[in-house]
Amino acid sequence: MQADNLRHVNATRLKEDGMVRGRWRIAASIGMFVALFLLVAGTIGAQSPDQNDNDYFVYLPLVAREYDPTWAWREGITVTLTPSYGGLLMAIDRQGRVHLLWHPSFSSPKFIYHTYLSPSGWTSPTVVAPSLGSSEVLYPPVVAPDGVIHLLWRNRKTSNDPQRMLYAAFTGNGWTSEEEVFQSRFSYTYLQGMVHLDTSGVPHATMLDCSFFYCDVYHTVRRGNWQPAIQIALPIYSNWVWPDRWGGVHFYGNDYSDPPKLYYSYWRDGQFQTLDRFVGNLKVSGRNTQLDGQNNLHIFWTDWVPVPGGQVTGLYYQCLAQNMTASPAEVLSGYSSVSNVVKGAGYTGWVAVAWQETESSVKRVRVGVWDGCSRIYLKTLPGGDSWQGLQAVSVSENPAMVCVLGRRSSLSEVLEVTCADIRR
C-alpha cells in the first residue's frame, strides 16, 4: 500500500550505508586517492631487498570509501503551492515525475489541487474535480503498474451532511470524473478511507466510519461502478487496519496485558481467512505502522534513548514479517534527538522513512529505505541541515528513486523536493 495507516483506536550511532558527507567532488576523491597511491607506492619501492615479499594493502581515503555509486542525489527543486496548502501528499509516477496533491488551508473553494514536475518545470495547479462542498486529502494515492494514479479523498457537501469518499484517477492526460464511493452512516463522524488494488488491477476501497464511541469497517470494489459497500465485522483486536494490494484487509491489535499480546486477522473475498491469531508479545498500539507490498508490517515510534549524561527522544524501528516473525527493535537515530518523522511505501515492497535529527547542535535529515524487512539504505539528505520542516517522503521501485519534501524556512511557503536515483 502506498498510504498511511488507518487507525481503529484513537546506542550506538548507526554506521552509514555509503553516506556522502557534504557535497564532495568526485575529482577531489580521485585526487586524494592518487596522492595516497603514490605515497604508498613510493614507500613500497623503498623497501630493502632482504625484506619478505609480503602483500601490501592500500586503504582508500574516507571520502572514496563513503562514495556510493548506486545512490545519486539530484539538485533540490523549489515549488510554491497556490493556494497555500493545509494537507499535502506526494507521489512518484512510473516516469519518475513527482506529483503533489493538496487541499487549501483556509482559502475557498476547498478543492483538491494537483501539480507535477514536468521536464519544463512544475505544471500549473489544476483542480482534481469540481466537487460540491469541501474536500480534504487523506493518504497518498496508489501508483499502479500501468501508471494510472488512483486517489481517494474525503468530502462533505455542507456542515449538515455526512462525510463521504470520492474517487478519481489520473491517466497522464488528466483526471477522470469524480465518483462517490461511500457515504458515512453518521451525521457527526470521522471518516477515513484508502484506495487499493487487487491482482487484476481493479480498484478497491476500505473505509473506517467512526462515531463518537466506535468504528465500523466497510469495503467496496469498482466493477464498472463502485458496488454497494459491505461491512466487515471487526475482530476482537484491531488497533490498526491495513488494506493490501491483493484486495484484502489486515487487522492488528493488542490486548491489555503487560507486555501486550499481538493478535492478527486477515479478511479477503468476503470472509476472514485468519481471525484473532495470537502472534506474540509485540506492541503496535500507539505506534506508527506501514504495510508494504509484501505484507510486512513496519513499526516505528519515538521514545527515550539513553545517551552519555542523559537521554534524548530517538526513533525506534521494528518489522513484523508476513510470516508473523518480528525483528529485534533497533534505534535508527543513534544518539541524536528526532523530530518530524514521515513515511512512504512503494507498490511492490519498498518502504522509506525520513526524519529530522539533531546531535550537538548539528541538524540533518535522514532517510532509510527497506526492501521488505531488510534495510538497504540509510542516507543523509544534502543540505538538510538548513531544512526547518519535513513534509513527506515517497519511494518508487520502478523507476527506483526516493524523494523528500520539506521547507527551508519556517516562515516561508516555499517547498523543496530533493530526489535520489537508485541504480541497482
* pLDDT, tens digit (0-9, with 9 covering 90-100), for 327-379: 999 999 999 999 999 999 999 999 999 999 998 888 999 999 999 999 999 99
DSSP letters of 180-228? EEEE-S-SS-EEEEEEEE-TT--EEEEEEEE-SS-EEEEEEEEESEEPP
Read off the pLDDT band of 128 (50, 70, 90).
very high
CATH match of 6-24+67-422 with 2.60.40: no
| Residue 202 predicted with pLDDT over 90 | yes
Q: Residues 268, 248: contact at Cβ < 8 Å?
A: yes
Enumerate the domain spans of the chain: 6-24+67-422
From 222, 201, 205, select the one nearest 144 (Cα to Cα).
201
Range with lowest mean pLDDT among 2-11, 27-36, 147-156 = 27-36
Cell of 289: 505502522
**What's the pLDDT score for residue 411?**
67
C-alpha cell at 297: 508490517
Confidence of residue 107 (pLDDT cuts 50, 70, 90): confident
Burial of 231-269, coded b for 16+ CB within 10 Å and e otherwise, reads: ebebbebbbbbbbbbebbbbbbbbeeeeebbbbbbbbbe
Q: Is 207:182 a contact under the CB 8 Å cutoff?
A: yes
Q: What pLDDT digit, counting tens, does each position of 30-80 carry?
A: 343 333 333 333 333 444 444 444 444 444 444 444 568 899 999 999 999
- Residue 390 sits at the vertex; the CA angle it makes with 384 and 396, to the nearest 5 degrees, is 90
The closest alpha carbon to 243, from 6, 40, 39, 20, belongs to 6
29: DSSP letter: H
Dist CA 46 CA 4 (whole Å): 63
